[in-house]
Structure 1
Amino acid sequence: MDLARLRALRELSIRKTMAAVAEALYVSPSAVSQQLALLEEEVGIALIERRGRGVTLTLAGQQLVERAERILAELESARADIAELKKVIAGELRVAAFPSVAAALIPATVHELLQLHPRLTVQFDEMEPAESLAALRSWQTDVAIIDDLNVPPGALDPNVETIPLMEDIFNVMVSKDHRLAERPTVTLQELRGERWAIDTASSTYTRMLTDACQAAGFNPHIVARCKGFEVTIALIRENYGISMLPGLRASNDLEDVWVCKVVPEIRRKISLAFRKGEKRSPALQAFIAQIENRVRP
């Protein structure tokens, strides 16, 4: 069976639509449909069926995807074995990470990694944790940086391994003119009645903030929903609202903003995720070592 066709079927099982598969594989939707039609012709049985606007796999399609996953995993394991034998850190390593950790860690990590291993190429893609895990499962990336707010440990695919990287503490950010400026710490109860500007890139973050405020006895008064850090921080600077953002955000230079630690602390655990059996890859080992050096106390 053609490996590209099997990969297209497996992508469909993950992403559910032809358009999403086409985007992931960098081909047209018609090319995806053609690959799947040829695969069905090759095996002599229907593998997909349309339901409304969506597409679902038949029982035969589901069984073939399970076999395809094992085949693709074996190929990746074989590639890792060969790379380990060569002991040469070269080729391409694909890395996916969400914005706050990416801005704080990826540029310096990649710079130092390429200084040590000039024959290595690093391809970086900014993705939210759930998206990067889907990319990992579909062989679109080699290592994903995730957190336990967006991806609880029980939600991990059994074919994915993780290693803990660091813990990140959330902080409240206010303008330099705010009543809480110059305060080293603040409790959530003290934020009742404040206006909030929130980054909505992650729905999990919004839910975490809302749950934390409700546990403190109030609902946050959200006056701005932003799709990125730049607008959020601009609104904070102008004292239009406050926000709760991860400590990694505060690791960057922030002018005209005061950072208060929240008491009690609200934490998230950040991990590296990769496919099982691939940790032996010299390129992956080098990346892990370098990023661990960046976060080591």
Structure 2
Amino acid sequence: MAAVAEALFLTPSAVSQQIAQLEEEVGMPLTERQGRGVRLTPAGERLVAHAERILIMLDEAKSDLAEIKREIAGVLRVAAFPTVAAALLPQAIQALQASYPHLDIVFKELEPADGLAALGSWNVDVAFVDNLTNLLVQKYKNIDQVPLIEDVLYVLLPQGHRLAQRQSLAVSDLRGERWALDSAVSFYGEFILNLCRRAGYEPRVNAECRGFEVVREMVASGCSISIIPGLRRVNDLAGVSAVKLRPEARRRISVAFRHGERNHPAVKVFLDQMVLTAKAVSEATN
């Protein structure tokens, strides 16, 4: 109930009241208690399935009408995680503003899993995801994706580190180092930990940070090392060196959108621009 209330900007009691009213209208319980939370009853699950189909049809209707109108305008709500938000999104928004002055793009910084949840609950119109959250994407039947870019991972080292001049590094070369990880990104942090575990050791994490800025400073000061997405190299990395992993490790980044809005003019031009921007950035960084 608390998660639903947060997603809908309501109080938990307001959500409970809405569900109680709906149960009164349909004449049967739609939720039941499970431990400290609640779960849908079979009737609730069926009603949700009907609601999802109705919402998809509404998306399709809005897209059709917008296509007939042929005016690219209004508000497009975008969820993106920090790596993409810093490396790709500003360039794309700038290009779209120049071409479509009546289109307002509103950006919200969300990690892939949170952005996907916001997309599935109709709180945003498009969301950036990566293949680390692909299992979550599969849970949403009405979500499609357009592939954007494959992001190569790099080891981040202090400039004076003994390994900083190498052309490439294996994860096994980093045994015994102290690590700074971005704990705000649970999927990515777990992915890095598992890379070390597959190399035969448990990394010594001496910094759990809530953002890349702190990770960078921990590395630049010589306190830690880390592994970062290659897209981070688009911006200045003063005081640190980035060395490619061996064998090469990548994560695939896509833009997700609701199936019913595939033909919405604003969504279409946004997707087209993101593909162009991602191609330009990929060519510049590889």
Normalising to structure 2: TM-score of the pair? 0.93
SS of 1:144's partner is strand
1:201 to partner: Cα distance? 1.8
Q: Is the 8 A contact 2:76 2:105 kept in 1?
A: yes
* CA–CA distance in structure 2, aligned partners of residues 286 and 29 of structure 1: 38
Tell me the residue number matched to 1:219. Answer: 202
SS of 1:277's partner is helix
* CA–CA distance in structure 1, aligned partners of residues 136 and 248 of structure 2: 21
* CA–CA distance in structure 2, aligned partners of residues 237 and 284 of structure 1: 40
The correspondence of residues 1-297 of structure 1 with structure 2, limited to 5 A, is 18-152=1-135, 155-296=138-279, 297=283
Q: Is the 8 A contact 1:97 1:132 kept in 2?
A: yes
* CA–CA distance in structure 1, aligned partners of residues 137 and 120 of structure 2: 16
Q: Give the residue type in structure 1 aligned to 2:112.
A: P
1:277 to partner: Cα distance? 2.7
Q: Is the 8 A contact 1:129 1:151 kept in 2?
A: no
1:290 to partner: Cα distance? 1.1
252-261 or 154-163, larger mean C-alpha shift: 154-163
Q: Give the residue type in structure 2 aligned to 1:75.
A: L
Q: Is the 8 A contact 1:113 1:290 kept in 2?
A: yes
Give CA-to-partner distance per residue, 1:189-238, whole Å, 9 cap, x none.
22111111111122222222222223323222211111211111110010
1:39 to partner: Cα distance? 1.2
Could you tell me which runs of 5 or more consecutive residues in structure 1 were left unpaired when the two chains were aligned: 1-17
Give CA-to-partner distance per residue, 1:53-111, whole Å, 9 cap, x none.
21111221111111111111101110011011111101111111111111111122112
113-122 or 69-78, larger mean C-alpha shift: 113-122
Q: Is the 8 A contact 1:176 1:237 kept in 2?
A: yes
* CA–CA distance in structure 2, aligned partners of residues 176 and 274 of structure 1: 41
130-139 or 50-59, larger mean C-alpha shift: 50-59
Superposed CA RMSD in Å reads 1.6
* CA–CA distance in structure 1, aligned partners of residues 197 and 33 of structure 2: 43
Q: Is the 8 A contact 1:130 1:151 kept in 2?
A: no
1:27 to partner: Cα distance? 2.0
* CA–CA distance in structure 2, aligned partners of residues 24 and 207 of structure 1: 25
SS of 2:114's partner is helix
